[in-house]
A and B are shown apart, each in its own frame.
Chain A
């Protein structure tokens, strides 16, 4: 690799004094009197940015030359939903170990050293229904970084000592799982939505973690980390044609290491558990209660539908990221000073069950009043049309993000 020493950012300061002579008289008396040019929103054309490799893997390429860095995300359909019933935790441990466990040709130490020497960041992980890898590196080191990333994805080493280290870290996390009241709330919330056995909320036991073997990880990777199930996104300081030329053989090699790809059944099996409405209280010694209030929602409307847009706007109006002007925050925080923050969260997917909930932190004595206000506001938005002016603010805010 070329030496990194000489390639540097230059920051030039152009100093000068602004000349005086301001006249304040003609300033608009109110912001509504300022005349603005029209807002032009340009959305990249997917036809221009998306390509399909020989293996069938889609690649999205968005150049941005502001700084000499490249970001890559490999997203694939794998995750906890593929854990065999007898091996919970397998997808997640496999996801973490692909990065940390070395490759068939290099030790984990050698790879850590090589990645750090390049100033690169490479990570792999698996979540609930999505797994994948990310890479960020200097554009001048892109070819070398891609070599390493695909070496890991194609032939991970799952080195035994690194597996033991990861295993003991998970066990240490199990011991700490009741420390933070927020973690307790999240765990209970997941259980209340889909029960304790469903992949979306299942908690690992010590025995689960101890049972996972290196062979399990190797087998899971071979069956499920398949580039034919992946989308690759590349942005930053790139020449799209050059990146495609680099990716084609690397992805081809990865695909050919899995000669007989397995088919994944999708969407995943739904939980049999029926959520039971109610008030659930977990006692925790703390000066501030954490409250989640809401329900699960069935698989939602398609991404482009009007109905989905309406749901997102309604969520934003309740307690979205506009903060203080949202209905719940303007009452809970602005008018009554009961909370520092309340947040409305809507997670929906056309194919998966989702969640709607309002989350807040409040002193224990203020919890009943806070909940009453949340319920009043949910009822109001269900029963009364949203005034046009209020709607317009949120539409403008959401479309500018």
Chain B
């Protein structure tokens, strides 16, 4: 149950008076113990999507205990003083709840489920119970399961181990450079007391945020929140280490794997709280998609790539920007990198026109609604964006995009696609698969 996904900015924008408006009001309240709640009333939804987050993630793992946050996430499903192992799953299933899961990312750990609206009190009972009195049963068996999960997600995939190498190259000694699921040698030596200590340090009420999306009576939710989660105590958390050391060099790593030859260029990028975020999302939007610059140039015109795209993953203390292309035909990783670099150079030599920029705004605006559509997805969006309670953050994205023009996109590309400060991975095919 680990998913290192994109953290996307939730988009919202001020309203002009003569246009149709969709309003997504978010009600926010804070318990006396510091736990924050966000509620979105969706009267038409057949279920309530409910989740909570602890502001702790793999980047908070001790240096020689990689994988601890994720291991703790697993242990949170092993019962409490009142409930036995897997009773949480059983009680949820009996109540018709679905999608019970959790995710550990670099900065946060989230636990979520969707359940029939009339069963909402069950969520308050079960989630506050496991925060109040968790019992970490069968720790050694769970370690084996996590090792198997590591094989599934990393070691048994064509490129998993190399992605770990590249990440380490990009972040160096910073915690962001360590594998969130843990190194096998660290996992082997994890002990129950490590998980207990991690829980006590980071799962205090003032480090928790809950999000509920669905049909609900907010007065009743406030009452239940107070009664159930009001029992948790505060555990002040020390502020996180400052920004990672900047990357000062360019380097290249060559790897052979059972995969399409490909080139990946990774760059450091600004964090979630950066005002450059919206412009960077637009820059990536300009490069991506069927009519985007990378697909058009590398896939359609030059016919050297199977696919070509860019990613921006903002994190709390930094971010990752990448350019990726997979080869087809006779092309080599070096050809792909050169073609990717040419597209960036082209962008720097001439600013994109207003119509192209407007196209990107239109796409990102439609995407913003796509992310708001499904209650469970909206719940996760609100949950996985640290600091979402701040009005300024919520209002930043789409409105900021209105003022981003072609010249600003050039500035972003010049600043962040810096060929002197990046890690390049060249993936070569190990051997052609036998013809079956």
Contact B152 A340 (CB under 8 A): yes
Q: For B21, what are the chain A residues with a Cβ–Cβ distance below 8 Å?
A: 7-10
Chain B residues with CB under 8 Å of A333's CB are 145
Question: A179 and B158 in contact (CB under 8 A), knowing A11-B395, A336-B141?
Answer: yes
Residues of A within 8 A of B144 (CB): 337-338
A325 within 8 A of B: yes
Q: Decide if A17 touches B29 in the complex (CB within 8 Å).
A: yes
Give 1 or 0 for each of B393-436: 1 = CB within 8 Å of chain A CB: 01100110010000000000000000000000000000011101
B24 and A22 form a contact (CB under 8 A)? no
A120 at the interface (CB under 8 A from B): yes
Binding site secondary structure of chain B: mixed
Residues of A within 8 A of B25 (CB): 11-14
- Judge whether B191 is part of the interface by a CB distance below 8 angstroms: no
The 0/1 profile, CB within 8 Å of B marked 1, for residues 18-42 of chain A is 1111111001111100101111010
Q: B28, A168: Cβ atoms under 8 Å?
A: no
> Beyond A66-B42, A339-B145, is A24–B227 a contact (Cβ under 8 Å)?
yes
Q: Are A9 and B145 in contact (CB under 8 A)?
A: no
For window 191-210 of chain A, which residues contact chain B by CB distance below 8 Å? 203
Contact A31 B226 (CB under 8 A): no
Closest A residue to B259 by beta carbon equals A179
Q: How far is the CA of A162 from the CA of B225 in the complex (A)?
A: 57
Interface residues on B, range: 35 or more
Interface-forming stretch among B234-242, B298-306, B310-318? B298-306
Question: Given that A11-B395, A112-B291, A400-B97 are known contacts, is A20 also in contact with B119, CB under 8 Å in the complex?
Answer: no
Chain A CB within 8 A of B351 CB: no
Measured between C-beta atoms, what is the minimum distance from B300 to chain A in Å? 6
CB–CB A5/B402 < 8 A: yes
- Judging by beta carbons under 8 Å apart, are A9 and B222 in contact? no
Chain A residue at minimum C-beta to C-beta distance from B300:
A165
Q: Which of A102-129 contact B (CB under 8 A)?
A: 109, 112-113, 115-120
User: Which among A22, A137, A173, A322 is the interface contact of B366 at CB below 8 angstroms?
Assistant: A137
Interface flag for B93 (CB, 8 Å): yes
A57-69 interface code vs B (CB 8 A; 1 in, 0 out): 0000000111111
B306 partner residues in chain A, CB cutoff 8 A: 169, 172-173
* A9 B22 Cβ-Cβ under 8 A: yes
Min C-beta distance of A176 to chain B, whole Å: 5
Q: Known contacts being A322-B89, A330-B86, is A8 close to B94, with CB within 8 Å?
A: no
A169-B306, A172-B329 in contact; A396/B93 too (CB < 8 A)?
A: yes
- Find out whether the CB atom of B30 lies under 8 angstroms from the CB atom of A39: no
Q: Taking the nearest CB of chain A, how far is it from the CB of B289, in angstroms?
A: 6
Chain B residues at the A interface, C-beta cutoff of 8 Å: 10-16, 18-32, 37, 42, 44-47, 77, 82, 85-86, 89-91, 93-98, 100, 115-116, 118-119, 121-122, 125-126, 138, 140-146, 148-149, 151-152, 155-158, 222, 225-228, 230-231, 258-260, 289-292, 296, 299-300, 303, 306, 327-329, 355, 358-359, 361-370, 372-373, 389, 391, 394-395, 398-399, 402, 432-434, 436
Residues of A within 8 A of B (CB): 4-24, 27-31, 34, 36-39, 41, 64-69, 100, 109, 112-113, 115-120, 136-138, 140, 161-162, 164-165, 168-169, 171-173, 175-181, 187, 203, 285-288, 321-325, 330, 333-341, 361-363, 392-394, 396-397, 399-401
